Amino acid sequence: MLFLRPTQSPVLFEQQLGRGLRLAPGKESCLVLDFVGRYREEFGSEFRFDQLLQVMTGLPKRRLIEDLEHGFPTLPPGCHIAFDRVAGERVLASLKFIARQTWPRLTRELQGYAAMKGPDNVSLASFLNDQALELSDIYRANAAGGWTALRRSAGLLPGEASGEEAYLGRRFADLLHSNDPLALKLWRESKAGDAMDASERRRIQMLAYQLFPRITDKMSGKEFLERLDAHRHLRDELGELSDLLAARTELPARRIPGWPQEWPLLLHGRYEIREILTAVGWLNESRRTPHQSGKIAIDDAKIECLFVTLDKAEGYHDRISYHDYAISPEIFHWQTQNNAGPDTPAGRRYIESPENGWRFFLFVRENKEAAYCALGPATKVHIEGDRPMSLHWKLEVALPMELFRAFSVLRA
In a domain, 189, yes or no: no
What distance in Å separates the CA atoms of residue 91 and residue 81, rounded to the nearest whole number?
Answer: 12
Quote the number of domains for the chain.
3
What distance in Å separates the CA atoms of residue 301 and residue 100, rounded to the nearest whole number?
Answer: 48
Last residue of a domain, one of 56, 82, 99: 99
What distance in Å separates the CA atoms of residue 134 and residue 136, rounded to the nearest whole number?
Answer: 5
Last residue of a domain, one of 160, 175, 194: 160
Q: One digit per residue, pLDDT tens: the chain, 412 residues?
A: 888 766 767 777 778 888 888 888 988 888 888 776 665 544 445 677 887 888 788 777 667 888 888 888 878 778 888 888 888 888 888 888 777 667 888 899 899 999 988 999 999 999 998 887 889 889 976 667 899 999 999 999 998 889 999 999 999 999 999 999 999 999 999 888 788 999 999 999 999 999 999 989 999 999 999 999 999 999 999 999 999 999 999 999 999 999 999 999 999 999 999 999 999 999 999 999 888 888 999 999 999 999 999 875 555 444 444 589 999 999 999 998 888 888 898 899 999 999 999 999 999 999 888 999 999 999 999 999 888 899 999 999 999 999 998 898 654 4
- 347 and 311, same domain (yes or no): yes
> In this structure, what are the phi and psi dihedrals at residue 386, rounded to the nearest 5 degrees?
-150, 125
- 320 and 347, same domain (yes or no): yes
What distance in Å separates the CA atoms of residue 71 and residue 83, rounded to the nearest whole number?
Answer: 9
- 119 and 62, same domain (yes or no): no
Last residue of a domain, one of 46, 68, 99: 99
The Cβ of residue 107 has, within 10 Å, a number of other Cβ atoms equal to 17
pTM: 0.80
| Rounded to 5°, angle at Cα 203 from 200 and 204 | 90
In a domain, 303, yes or no: yes
According to the model, what pLDDT value does residue 44 have?
A: 42
Which structural domain range is residue 69 located in?
2-99
CATH number at residue 332: 2.30.280
Omega before 354 cis (within 30°)?
yes
According to the model, what pLDDT value does residue 43 have?
A: 42
In a domain, 145, yes or no: yes
- 317 and 396, same domain (yes or no): yes
